[in-house]
């Protein structure tokens, strides 16, 4: 039993470390993307057809565009990545438990 507990924790530890690395990398990638200037194919299609002007923001959310109002943008990206990752983890575990 102790071995099972230990190895399950070990899997969690490695997986959580991986998650942490992704969260820490988020502001780095945001910075890199800002330096280069980029667009997704959806942006390209919207620009090409003139649809960009039709975009509406009916709900900005608590962390609009992965920022925290009043905070440095890259700190906001980090906080957003952390909050979103933990929220997804928590809600998924609750849903998974409900489906067992």
Partner 1 sequence: MHTPDGFLHPWMAALFIIASIGVLAFGTRKIRGTVTPRQTQLFGMVTASIFAAQMLNWPLPGGVSAHFVGGALAAIVLGPHLGALSVALVVAVQALVFGDGGVLALGANVWNMAIVQVYGGYAVYRVVSEYNETGAIVLAGWASITLAALSAGIQLGLSPAFGSELISVVTVMAGGHAVLGVGEALLTLLGVHLVARFDAADAESVEGGVVA
Are the C-beta atoms of 30 and 38 separated by less than 8 Å?
no
Q: How far is CA 26 from the centre of its chain?
A: 8
Indicate whether 63 belongs to the interface with partner 1 (CB under 8 A): yes
Which element (helix H / strand E) includes 95? helix 73-99
- Tokens representing residue 90 in the block: 């928590």
Q: Which residues in 30-49 contact partner 1 (CB under 8 A)?
A: 30, 32-33, 35-42, 44-46, 48-49
Q: Which is nearer to partner 1, 2 or 70 (CB)?
A: 2
Determine the Cα–Cα distance for residues 17 and 35; give it in Å rounded to an integer. Answer: 28
The least distance separating partner 1 from the CB of residue 21, rounded to whole angstroms, comes to 9
Are the C-beta atoms of 81 and 66 separated by less than 8 Å?
yes
Indicate whether 60 belongs to the interface with partner 1 (CB under 8 A): yes
Q: Which is nearer to partner 1, 37 or 70 (CB)?
A: 37
The 10 Å Cβ neighbour count of residue 53 is 6
List of residues contacting partner 1 (CB under 8 A): 1-4, 6-8, 10-12, 14-15, 18-19, 22-23, 25-26, 29-30, 32-33, 35-42, 44-46, 48-51, 54-66, 77, 80-81, 83-93, 95-97, 99-100
């Amino acid at each position: 039993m102790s071995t099972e507990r230990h190895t399950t924790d070990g899997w969690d530890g490695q997986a959580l470390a991986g998650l942490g690395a992704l969260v820490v990398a988020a502001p780095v990638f945001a910075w890199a993307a800002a330096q280069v200037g980029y667009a997704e194919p959806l942006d390209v299609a919207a620009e090409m057809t003139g649809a960009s002007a039709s975009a509406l923001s009916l709900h900005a959310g608590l962390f609009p565009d992965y920022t925290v109002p009043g905070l440095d943008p890259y700190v906001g990206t980090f906080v957003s990545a952390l909050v979103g990752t933990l929220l997804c983890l928590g809600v998924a575990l609750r849903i998974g438990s409900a489906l067992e």
